[in-house]
Amino acid sequence: MWFFFIAFSAYAYQYQPVLESLSIIGISPGVENVIFTFNKINNYRFIMLSNNYWYIAVPQYTIHINQTPTPRLSVNDILVRDIRNETRIYIKMNDKYTYKYKPILSKNGKYLIVRIEKLFNNTSNKTAKPKTQISHKQTAKTVINLSKPSTKTPVIVIDPGHGGKDPGAIGIYNKEKNIVLDIAKRTAYYLKRKGYKVVLTRNKDTYPTLSDRSQLSNRVKANIFVSIHANYSVKDRKKAKGLEVYFLNTTSDKRAIRLAARENGISIQEVGDINKIILSLIQSAKIEKSKTLALDVYYKMLSYGKKIYAGYKGRGVKQAPFYVLVDTRCPSILIETAFINNPKDALYLKNPVFRKYLAIGIAKGIETYIHSHMKSKIRQ
Kindly state the DSSP code that residue 74 receives in the 8-state scheme: T
Strand order in the sheet with 197-200: 197-200, 155-160, 224-231, 332-339, 243-248, 314-320
- In a domain, residue 132? The reply is no
- In a domain, residue 106? The reply is yes
- What number is the average pLDDT over the span 107-125? 74
Q: What integer best gives the mean pLDDT of the chain?
A: 80
Highest mean pLDDT among 68-72, 163-167, 215-219: 163-167
Which domain CATH number covers 87? 2.60.40.3470
Which domain CATH number covers 208? 3.40.630.40
- In a domain, residue 378? The reply is no
pLDDT confidence bin for 16, thresholds 50/70/90: low
**Full domain range(s) for residue 366:** 137-373
Boundary of a domain, candidates 94, 121, 148: 121
> Residue 144: in which H helix or E strand, if any?
none
Residues 11 and 76 in one domain: yes
**What's the pLDDT at 23?**
79
Q: Which pairing describes strands 97-105 and 111-121: parallel, antiparallel, or unpaired?
A: antiparallel
- In a domain, residue 284? The reply is yes
- What number is the average pLDDT over the span 111-118? 88
Strand order in the sheet with 97-105: 3-5, 19-28, 31-38, 111-121, 97-105
Residues 267 and 339 in one domain: yes
- In a domain, residue 42? The reply is yes
Compare 143 and 252 and report the one with higher pLDDT: 252
- What number is the average pLDDT over the span 136-146? 34
Residues 219 and 328 in one domain: yes
Boundary of a domain, candidates 97, 121, 145: 121
Boundary of a domain, candidates 87, 121, 155: 121
CA atoms within 13 A on the CB side of 91: 27
> Residue 306: in which H helix or E strand, if any?
none
pLDDT confidence bin for 212, thresholds 50/70/90: confident
Residues 6+ apart with CB under 8 A from 123: 96
Compare 165 and 262 and report the one with higher pLDDT: 165
Residues 245 and 317 in one domain: yes
DSSP, collapsed to helix, strand or coil, labels residue 127 as coil
Strands (E) in the chain, as ranges, are 3-5, 19-28, 31-38, 45-50, 53-59, 75-83, 86-93, 97-105, 111-121, 155-160, 197-200, 224-231, 243-248, 314-320, 332-339
Say how far apart CA 49 and CA 60 lie, in whole Å: 22
Q: Give the count of domains, the chain.
A: 2
pLDDT confidence bin for 15, thresholds 50/70/90: low
Check pLDDT > 60 for residue 137. Answer: no
Counting residues of the chain whose pLDDT is more than 90, the rounded percentage is: 42
Say how far apart CA 379 and CA 370 lie, in whole Å: 12
**What's the pLDDT at 4?**
40
Check pLDDT > 70 for residue 211. Answer: yes
Check pLDDT > 90 for residue 295. Answer: yes
Compare 144 and 96 and report the one with higher pLDDT: 96
Check pLDDT > 90 for residue 176. Answer: yes
User: 354, 309 in Cβ contact below 8 A?
Assistant: yes
Say how far apart CA 288 and CA 65 lie, in whole Å: 34
* DSSP codes of every residue in 338-364: EETTSHHHHHHHT-HHHHHHHHHHHHH
Residues 91 and 170 in one domain: no
Residues 45 and 103 in one domain: yes
- CA angle 114–119–125, rounded 5-degree value: 155
Say how far apart CA 253 and CA 256 lie, in whole Å: 5
Residues 246 and 357 in one domain: yes
Check pLDDT > 70 for residue 326. Answer: yes
Residues 115 and 234 in one domain: no
- In a domain, residue 130? The reply is no
Check pLDDT > 90 for residue 225. Answer: yes
Residues 103 and 147 in one domain: no
> Lowest-pLDDT range, 23-32, 185-194, 345-354?
23-32
Counting residues of the chain whose pLDDT is more than 70, the rounded percentage is: 75
Residues 188 and 217 in one domain: yes
**What's the pLDDT at 215?**
83
- In a domain, residue 126? The reply is no
**What's the pLDDT at 126?**
38
**What's the pLDDT at 149?**
40
Q: How far is CA 168 from CA 100, 125, 249, in A?
A: 27, 36, 23
CA atoms within 13 A on the CB side of 210: 19
pLDDT confidence bin for 85, thresholds 50/70/90: confident
Residues 75 and 223 in one domain: no
Check pLDDT > 80 for residue 182. Answer: yes
Euclidean distance between the first and the last CA atom of the chain, given in angstroms as a whole number:
57
Residues 222 and 307 in one domain: yes
Say how far apart CA 347 and CA 208 lie, in whole Å: 28
* DSSP codes of every residue in 213-276: HHHHHHHTT-SEEEEEEEE--SS-TTT--SEEEEEE-----HHHHHHHHHHHTS-HHHHHHHHH
- In a domain, residue 70? The reply is yes
